[in-house]
């Protein structure tokens, strides 16, 4: 996609210069001509003066209104970015807006000024310019070069944002379902999420994610449906999916927005730059929290799809992870879904009574399912 956009931008520039060259060759030799004065005798439409002043006055009032509304409603814009890519995208967004606003004010100021300056006056002779090569070049080349610059700078930022996450990124899975978010972590023994299969989904048994316990990477996975924790200063890779209908992960402070599509996993990675505690201090709001919302209307309970995002410092995040219980610990019956050759590895995640541990370990090692009576 990046290559295609780059090629299209180059083709656009080439076509722009080709059109200018062709226009100049076709209209070569055309010179401005003067038209005869349109003499209406002594009649002068006094309304022309009023209309000229009124139009320019309208533009002045409009400028005041635009500036006032921008300053007044700026507090309702997106909050300050709290991620690395968020700050960069915000910077280029305002660069683009500044360029557009300069063009907007210049063009419209001239438009309304000309309506005033060149209003009808008795004795004024109009000069008609069927074509002006210099003006054509100016108002075609300058916008083309500016647009190309904005496209390429924006393309670079977008490419960086959508690139593969760094190897040391913290991997977290977030799944949308009617009506809430579920979050799965890869545990403390590795940074790999276990495989899943939608056919294994069973809410009654506690396997909402459809985790496949035939994959040993699933053994230390744990879930947290009430809040999402992420570390500050480290890349975070969100693996996103939906279990039923379309949802959309939106974290405004992190400038994260990605659809959750049933049957089509998506992803987004970002690096938080500010912990929740730091944000509360900076905002002087002890109750502040980062939030995750759903921006895809997914049914009557769409409004309830809100999840608190807690950004911890590295030490606090690792401590929090160690305090969480793997699904195998919470639901010991999942051991029955572990292949016989992997049950010995899964043993350490089971809440087994010390007095019964030797017997259960021996049974598991020989391919048994373990004594359910020995499980807490």
pLDDT in tens, 167-179: 889 999 999 999 9
Is residue 34 pLDDT above 50, yes or no?
Answer: no
Tens digits of per-residue pLDDT, 111-161? 888 888 888 777 777 777 777 788 888 888 888 898 888 888 888 888 888
Mean predicted confidence (pLDDT) in 337-363:
70
pLDDT for position 169: 92
pLDDT band at 28 (very low <50, low <70, confident <90, very high): low
Q: Averaging pLDDT over each range in 286-290, 357-361, 367-371, which range is the top one? A: 286-290
7 versus 110: the higher-pLDDT residue is 110
In order, the DSSP letters of 153-202 are HHHHHHHHHHSPPPTTPEEEEEEEETTEEEEEE-TTT-S-PPPB-GGG-B
Which of helix, strand or coil describes residue 238? Answer: strand
Q: Give the whole-angstrom CA distance, residue 148 versus residue 258.
A: 26
Lowest mean pLDDT across 44-48, 97-101, 355-359: 355-359
Place of tokens 């998506």: 266
Q: Give the whole-angstrom CA distance, residue 307 versus residue 196.
A: 23
Question: Hey, where are the domains in the chain?
Answer: 2-162, 170-330, 338-376
pLDDT for position 20: 63
Please say whether the structural domain 170-330 has been given the CATH code 2.60.40.420.
yes
pLDDT for position 22: 64
Tens digits of per-residue pLDDT, 283-318? 999 999 999 999 999 999 999 899 999 999 999 999
pLDDT band at 40 (very low <50, low <70, confident <90, very high): very low
pLDDT for position 278: 93
pLDDT for position 237: 95
Answer for the pair 347, 359: CB distance below 8 angstroms, yes or no.
no
Q: Is 137 left (phi over 0), alpha (psi -120 to 50) or beta?
A: alpha
Pairing of strands 236-242, 170-177: parallel
Q: Any idea what the Cα angle at residue 159 is, between residues 156 and 165, rounded to 5°?
A: 135
Q: How many helices (H) and strands (E) does the chain have?
A: 9, 12
Q: Give the whole-angstrom CA distance, residue 123 versus residue 22.
A: 38
pLDDT for position 352: 62
Answer for the pair 125, 37: CB distance below 8 angstroms, yes or no.
yes
What pTM value is reported for the model? 0.74
Tens digits of per-residue pLDDT, 68-102? 999 999 888 888 899 999 999 999 999 999 999 99
Mean pLDDT, all residues of the chain: 83
């Amino acid at each position: 996609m990046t290559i295609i956009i780059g090629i299209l931008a180059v083709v656009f520039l080439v076509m722009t210069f080709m059109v200018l060259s062709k226009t100049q060759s076709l209209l070569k030799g055309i010179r401005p001509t003067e038209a005869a004065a349109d003499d209406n005798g002594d009649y002068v439409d006094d309304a022309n003066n009023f209309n000229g002043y009124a139009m320019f006055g309208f533009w002045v009032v409009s400028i005041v209104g635009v500036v006032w509304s921008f300053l007044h409603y700026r507090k309702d814009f997106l909050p300050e970015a709290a991620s690395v890519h968020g700050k960069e995208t915000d910077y280029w967004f305002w660069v683009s807006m500044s360029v557009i606003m300069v063009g907007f004010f210049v063009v419209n100021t001239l438009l309304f000024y000309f309506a005033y300056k060149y209003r009808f006056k008795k004795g004024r002779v109009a000069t008609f310019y069927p074509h002006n090569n210099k003006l054509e070049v100016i108002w075609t080349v300058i916008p083309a070069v500016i647009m190309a610059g904005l496209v390429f700078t924006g393309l670079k930022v977008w490419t960086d944002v959508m690139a593969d996450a760094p190897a040391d990124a913290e991997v977290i899975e977030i799944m949308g379902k009617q009506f809430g978010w579920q979050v799965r972590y890869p545990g403390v023994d590795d940074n790999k999420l276990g495989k899943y299969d939608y056919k294994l989904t069973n809410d009654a048994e506690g396997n909402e994610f459809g985790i496949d316990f035939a994959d040993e990477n699933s053994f230390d996975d744990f879930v947290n449906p009430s809040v999402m924790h992420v570390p500050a200063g480290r890349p975070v890779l969100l693996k996103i999916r939906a279990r039923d209908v379309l949802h959309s992960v939106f974290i405004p402070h992190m400038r994260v927005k990605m659809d959750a599509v049933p049957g089509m996993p998506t992803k987004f990675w970002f690096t938080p730059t500010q912990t929740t505690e730091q944000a509360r201090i900076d905002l002087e709001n002890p109750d502040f929290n980062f939030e995750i919302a759903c921006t895809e209307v997914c049914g009557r309970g769409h409004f309830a799809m809100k999840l608190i995002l807690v950004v911890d410092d590295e030490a606090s995040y690792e401590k929090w992870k160690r305090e969480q219980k793997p699904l195998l610990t919470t639901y010991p019956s999942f051991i029955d879904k572990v292949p016989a050759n992997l049950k010995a590895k899964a043993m350490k995640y089971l809440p087994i009574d010390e007095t019964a541990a030797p017997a259960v370990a021996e049974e598991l090692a020989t391919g048994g399912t373990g004594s359910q009576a020995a499980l807490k």
